[in-house]
Structure 1
Amino acid sequence: MTSAIRLEAATAAVTVLSNRADVTDWALRYFGQWWNAAATEADGVHGDSVVTADLDPAAYEAISLLVGDGRPTGTVSYAKHPLVVARDGDDVVATSPGEGIAYRSTPSSRRLVLAGTDVWKLALSAARLAREVARGQLLRDGWAVLHSSAVVRPDDNATLLTFGEKGAGKTTTALLLASNGWQLLANDRVLARPIGDRDVEVVPWPSAAALGLGLLDSLDWFATAREHLRTGGGFHPTQHRSVTAALLAGDPTPLRDGKGRERKVQVFPDQFPHLFDVPLATVGTAAALLFPQVIADSAPGLADGARTLGEGDFMSGATEDRYPDVFGLAQGIDGGGRESARAEVASRLAVLPHHAVRLSHDTQASAAVLGKLADSI
């Protein structure tokens, strides 16, 4: 029996089909409210892009043999796995032996087929590709991808976009505001497009949110996360086992890998409202830009010298190299959007209020500063 989930994000619509409900259930959870995911009838997909992901070892073998059947091939890294890619007429065929997944992409009919040997790996890959299919549609429709967190005021959809380098406080800013009356639209990136004469519309980019153990503790969410694990719950499977162990042990000390990068709790989108009482938003209109800086022992407050947006505040093909467009989903458009779309979004955001803000590890004081600033917008 075929199960189906339909995703809608602004101008994009994608249906995920599978012979295993585990696959579509995963997509339903992963995209959820942010991309209006809902169960649908398998035969009601007319006009949508379709991702079919079946647990089918025979089909996996057949496509894999086709890839290696004397055709010119290339190997790329896709989602950190080697992917062998070839052409079969107008179709793109590919195989990922490490994951046990083979692919056939037919761009002309907006169909992408996955055949897998492991249901869990298949579910992860199907959600990833469904998101890439939607992104391709949105990029072709004039959207751009911003490296920004975002919160929305529920009464008028006014949206605060927060920019900064890794560790600047984008996620902290968004979660502090979302814990105090605003709705969370995104913790790391958003899709944006010009609408009307001067506005910029923004929608979420669904992904797991990475929250440091210290941040979780400062938000008073650590005990909730620990209890969730102790009662049989879990977080996103990409979470490192040492983070899970620290949560269970009640130790909020930040953890780092051998390269000094912090290991974090990986939170599903649907866990924000269900576990942490943080409401989600599905769309907003840009109203102001924030540029935070976290200085541990400082006094939170407004700072001088809010910067302007730069190229690094937009995602691009170079920054999205984990998912190169080997399947032709964006039809040659840069992974961050057309240059003209990025330029117009940047021009419109440039005339909005810009605020530099200094945050500290005192979350109550930081939240008070952010709340006062948000109330003025």
Structure 2
Amino acid sequence: MSAVRITTADGQAVTVTSIGDTIPAWAARYLGSWWTALPVTDIAGPVVSGDVDEAELRALTAVVESSSFERIEYADAEMLCVRDDTMVTAIQPAESLAYRWDKDWRLLRIVGTDETQVATAAARLAREIVRAQLLADGWAILHASAVTDQDGATILTLGDKGAGKTTTAFALSRSGWAMLANDRVFARVEPDGTVRVLPWPSAAAIGLGLLHALDLLDTVRERLASGEQMHPTQHPAVTDALLASRTEPLWKANGKELKPQFFPDQLTTWLSISLATQGRATGILFPQITPGATPRLIDTTRGVHDSDFFDETTEDRYPDAFNLLPAPGTHTALRQALAALPNQGLAMGHDLTANAATLKEAATRLSP
């Protein structure tokens, strides 16, 4: 058996195991750039166990299909769940995956027919188990990007969809900051009043236009042309566009943009972006991206909104399918601490070169 333990900078941990090496190695790659991933021989604490096992898949599928199940959407695919006080059994038929979570043993078993599918699910659910531990310890999840300097001073970027959170994070990361997150972060107020920030490991979604604006499209195309692979959740149409150096946005039928999907380690190896494992918030940026806008600092009254927090009502991809998460908190202290941080609004266009000076000025204002 092979095993790797995933541990956050705050000490929460989960162990991923498998008969072979591939699935633990995948979890280490997926989560280890922002959290710590180390091989272990002792199996302690909560465990995610994943294997290719068609017989067990059939058995768990029979359990679900013979029961009164609930239908939910999990990670963009239908999931059928059967729950009781101590056990959750679930299947995702389109992915040929089955799951069983034993609360008493703190063991999540994942089986399927395709090793990559099982590995992807195991890494995702390992993160969910750590997420539950962090939330139980008083952390909250913010819909924010974040960059960190070498001393740990962290600038959060908040805003509604399309405001420029990802653009701001990648632009600052290309100018010397380390990226802590491009979409969501864990945050908690410490006893001294500091807002501590931890990363949410995930594949990084970067639009084709932003890749082009960052002058990274040729780099990605060359890597793909040489035979290297991107994250398996990337749509084939995106891969084709990258290989053809096309920059026009691609869209799903539901109106969501199809974007290139990078493994976390590819942010460093492909895009030369440094990653941070933790930080302390020193300020908040509120960007507004408008085509043709003249980059400038602006006054803002946006503040922190309820929609900036991920909870049962705003979580759009990873609902609590396995009853892992604690009851949601109000996070009053965190809201107050965020409201007290220095903040800066800025207007930007789509020309990152033109935005650069304004971004640098805004970041400097919020740095200690």
Q: 1:61 aligns with which of 58, 65, 78?
A: 58
Distance 1:87 1:167 in 2: 37
Match of 2:43 among 33, 37, 45: 45
Equivalent pair of 2:296/2:358 in contact (CA under 8 Å): yes
Q: Say whether the 8 Å CA contact 1:6–1:16 is kept in structure 2.
A: yes
1-side partners of 2:317 and 2:254: how far apart? Answer: 19
Q: Structure 2 CA distance, aligned partners of 1:211 and 1:284?
A: 23
Q: Note if contact 2:82-2:89 (Cα within 8 Å) is conserved in structure 1.
A: yes
* Matched residue, 1:121: 117
Distance 1:127 1:289, change over 3 A: same
Q: Distance in 2 between matches of 1:73 and 1:307?
A: 42
> Residues 89 and 188 of structure 1: is their aligned pair in 2 closer, same or farther, counting only changes over 3 Å?
closer
> How do residues 188-207 of structure 1 correspond to structure 2 at under 5 angstroms?
188-207=183-202
Deviation at 1:133, TM superposition (A): 0.7
Q: 1:369 aligns with which of 355, 358, 364?
A: 358
| 1:295-318 alpha-carbon deviations (Å, 9 max, x no partner) | 222221101224210101111112
Deviation at residue 197 of structure 1 after TM alignment: 2.6
Query: Do 2:50 and 2:111's aligned partners in 1 also have CA atoms closer than 8 Å?
Result: yes
Query: What TM-score results when the alignment is normalised by the length of structure 1?
Result: 0.92
SS at match of 2:13: strand
Deviation at 1:107, TM superposition (A): 1.6
Aligned-pair CA distance for 1:89: 6.6
Note closer, same or farther for the CA distance 1:327–1:258 as it changes in structure 2 (3 Å cut).
closer
2:134 alignment partner AA: L
2:346–2:362 CA contact under 8 A, matched in 1: no
Matched residues, percent identical?
45
CA distance in 1, matches of 2:36, 2:107: 21
Give the unaligned 5+ runs of structure 1.
none
**1:259 positional shift:** 4.7
Distance 1:172 1:292 in 2: 9
Match of 1:22 in 2: 22
Larger displacement relative to structure 2 (90-99 or 266-275): 90-99
Do the aligned partners of residues 87 and 356 (structure 1) sit closer, same or farther apart at CA in structure 2, a change above 3 Å counting? closer
Output the amino acid matched with 2:15: T
Find the counterpart in structure 2 of residue 298 from structure 1.
Answer: 293
From 95, 106, 111, give the equivalent of 1:99: 95
Cα distance in 2 for partners of 1:264, 1:308 equals 29
- Measure, in 1, the Cα distance between the counterparts of 2:93 and 2:238: 29
Question: Within 5 A, what are the aligned runs for 1:82-161?
Answer: 82-87=78-83, 90-154=86-150, 156-161=151-156
Matches within 5 A, 1:269-280: 269-280=264-275
Distance 1:68 1:181 in 2: 53
Give the secondary-structure state (helix, strand or coil) at the position aligned to 2:292: coil
CA change 1:238–1:197 in 2 (3 A) is same
Cα distance, 1:236 vs. partner? Answer: 1.4
Does the 8 Å CA contact 2:56/2:111 hold for their aligned counterparts?
yes
Do the aligned partners of residues 275 and 80 (structure 1) sit closer, same or farther apart at CA in structure 2, a change above 3 Å counting? closer
Distance 1:150 1:67 in 2: 41
Residues 129-278 of structure 1 aligned to structure 2 (within 5 Å): 129-154=125-150, 156-278=151-273
Q: Distance in 1 between matches of 2:154 and 2:200?
A: 15
Q: Which SS does the other structure have where 2:123 is aligned?
A: helix
CA contact (8 A) 2:88 2:101 kept: yes
Alpha-carbon contact 1:77-1:322 (below 8 Å) kept = yes
Is there any run of 5+ residues in structure 2 with no aligned partner, and where? none
Equivalent residue number for residue 340 of structure 2: 351
* Residue 81 to residue 214, structure 1, CA distance change in 2 (3 Å): closer
Distance 1:295 1:67 in 2: 49
C-alpha displacement at 1:68, in angstroms?
4.4
TM-score by length of 2: 0.94
Would the aligned equivalents of 1:306 and 1:355 in 2 still touch at CA under 8 Å?
A: no
Equivalent residue for 1:329? 324
Change (3 A) 1:193 1:55: same
Following the alignment from structure 1 to structure 2, what is the Cα–Cα distance between the partners of residues 213 and 320?
Answer: 25
Identify if the C-alpha distance between structure 1 residues 216 and 121 changes in structure 2 by more than 3 Å, giving closer, same or farther: same
Q: CA deviation at 1:40?
A: 2.4
- SS in structure 1 at match of 2:95: coil
The CA deviation string for residues 293-348 of structure 1, in whole angstroms up to 9 with x for no partner, is 112222211012242101011111122243322312114x23xxx12xx2211110
CA contact 1:33–1:280 (8 Å) conserved in 2? yes
Which amino acid is 2:38 matched to? Answer: A
What is the Cα deviation at residue 56 of structure 1?
1.6
